[in-house]
Amino acid sequence: MQIGIVGLGRMGLNMCLRLLLKGHKVVAYNRTPEKTKSVVRKGAKGAYSLENLVKILKPPRIVWLMLPAGQATDDHIARLKTLLSRGDILVEGGNSFYKDDLRHAEELKPYGIHYVDAGVSGGIWGLKIGYCLMIGGEKRMFHYLEPIFKALAPKEGYLYCGSTGAGHFVKMTHNGIEYGMMSAYGEGLNS
């Protein structure tokens, strides 16, 4: 499948590389061209603006955002809703609050753009081992995107969690458990 990745931080960059290794076609965009060029050297197509990214992708376009939650994500979605077409798919993979997903899906609905939220866990080991994915949104979009999820995740490492917001809700719960465990380890070791 062809997919556009927006945001080439540590996780976004490694997700691009993992998708390339699994035979997918990646169009990569980052606000700093140097990061984009680094992925182009590994086999991705480079886009140097959101307009360029949308122009390169073939419909129905898949654009996966890997940006910090909050204003950066909101700003990119606001721009992309005017660039994408009816039937295109926007996947939001940041550490966003699930209620923001509900707002984003409603914002995109009049444009006919499908919205999928994806909690992503894997950190620095994701490239080698895979990313655990917690997916929310329309079930038919989950099935359509499943080849991407299979490529990114370890075996049985992705899950359809339910309607819009469910993916990020499960990721929020995952983070709460993980941070609680780390805090307990720290307290125990400090004793």
State which amino acid sits at residue 172: M
**Using CB atoms within 10 A of its CB, is residue 34 exposed (0-12), middle (13-18) or buried (19+)?**
exposed
Instruction: Establish how many alpha carbons lie within 13 A of residue 93's alpha carbon, considering only the half-sphere containing its beta carbon.
Output: 28
Catalytic residue from among 55, 156, 178, 187: 178
Determine the Cα–Cα distance for residues 25 and 122; give it in Å rounded to an integer. Answer: 21
The DSSP-derived string for 51-99 is HHHHHHSPSSPEEEE---TTHHHHHHHHHHHHHS-TT-EEEE-SS--HH
**Predicted pLDDT of residue 70:** 94
Question: 15: which 2 tokens?
Answer: 């997700």
Confidence (pLDDT) at 175: 58
Q: Is 178 a catalytic residue?
A: yes
Q: Are 80 and 57 in contact (CB under 8 A)?
A: no
Active-site residue (options: 34, 109, 171, 187)? 171
pLDDT for residue 137: 98
pLDDT value of position 31: 94
Torsions phi, psi for 2 (to 5 deg):
-100, 135
Q: What is the pLDDT along the chain (191 residues), one digit of tens a residue?
A: 999 999 999 899 999 999 999 999 999 999 999 999 999 999 999 999 999 999 999 999 999 999 999 999 999 999 999 999 999 999 999 989 899 999 999 999 999 999 999 999 987 789 999 999 999 999 999 999 999 999 999 999 999 999 999 998 887 675 555 656 667 768 777 77
Q: 97 and 82 in contact (C-beta within 8 Å)?
A: no
Determine the pLDDT at residue 48: 97
Q: Which H or E run contains 178?
A: helix 166-190
Annotation says 106 is catalytic = no
